[in-house]
Structure 1
């Protein structure tokens, strides 16, 4: 299972999202550091809309997503961009 697939599975289980997209942005970060080649699923963007984010601040939403994905971060996920919203909130994505 790829990193993207594991992230999707973990977030789906934890939040039962209305909408979820996990985007591999690793290629756009190639060469930023000597060991970043852009091929290893090291930089991901998560876009998630879920009821569980209702009433939470942006920081609390990010902390919730980071907590679910801590194992991926510990295993080598270098960067995680998070765009989290509750249903009905305006999103630009």
Structure 2
């Protein structure tokens, strides 16, 4: 199973999202393959939680899997927020990280 599939399976199981999209954005960064991911998660479990609490919940779900990747950009929404917004922001171009 690829890291992308592992991330999808882990987040799906823990957060039971109505919408889940995980993208491998490693090609946009200088740290190698399977290192940078973006996850768009729409879940009822985020209702009433601040952005920080939502991210903490997602990172907790990831557990030891987080040690296998360099970065995970999270975009977390309730179903109502997602219905309003409908799209996550584009990822920024990598500045290199080594400068």
TM-score, normalised to structure 2, is 0.81
Indicate which of 54, 59, 67 corresponds to 1:61: 54
Greater helix percent: which structure?
2
The two structures, once aligned, show a CA RMSD in angstroms of 1.0
Structure 2's unaligned 5+ residue stretches are: 89-99
Q: Which residue of 1 aligns with 2:14?
A: 14
Indicate which of 75, 80, 93 corresponds to 1:88: 80
Question: What is the CA deviation profile of residues 12-41 of structure 1, one whole-angstrom value per residue up to 9, with x for unaligned ones?
Answer: 1111110000000001002xxxxx23x2x1
Structure 1's unaligned 5+ residue stretches are: 31-35
- Match of 1:21, SS state, is strand
TM-score, normalised to structure 1, is 0.86
Displaced runs of 4+ in structure 1, greater than 3 A? Answer: none
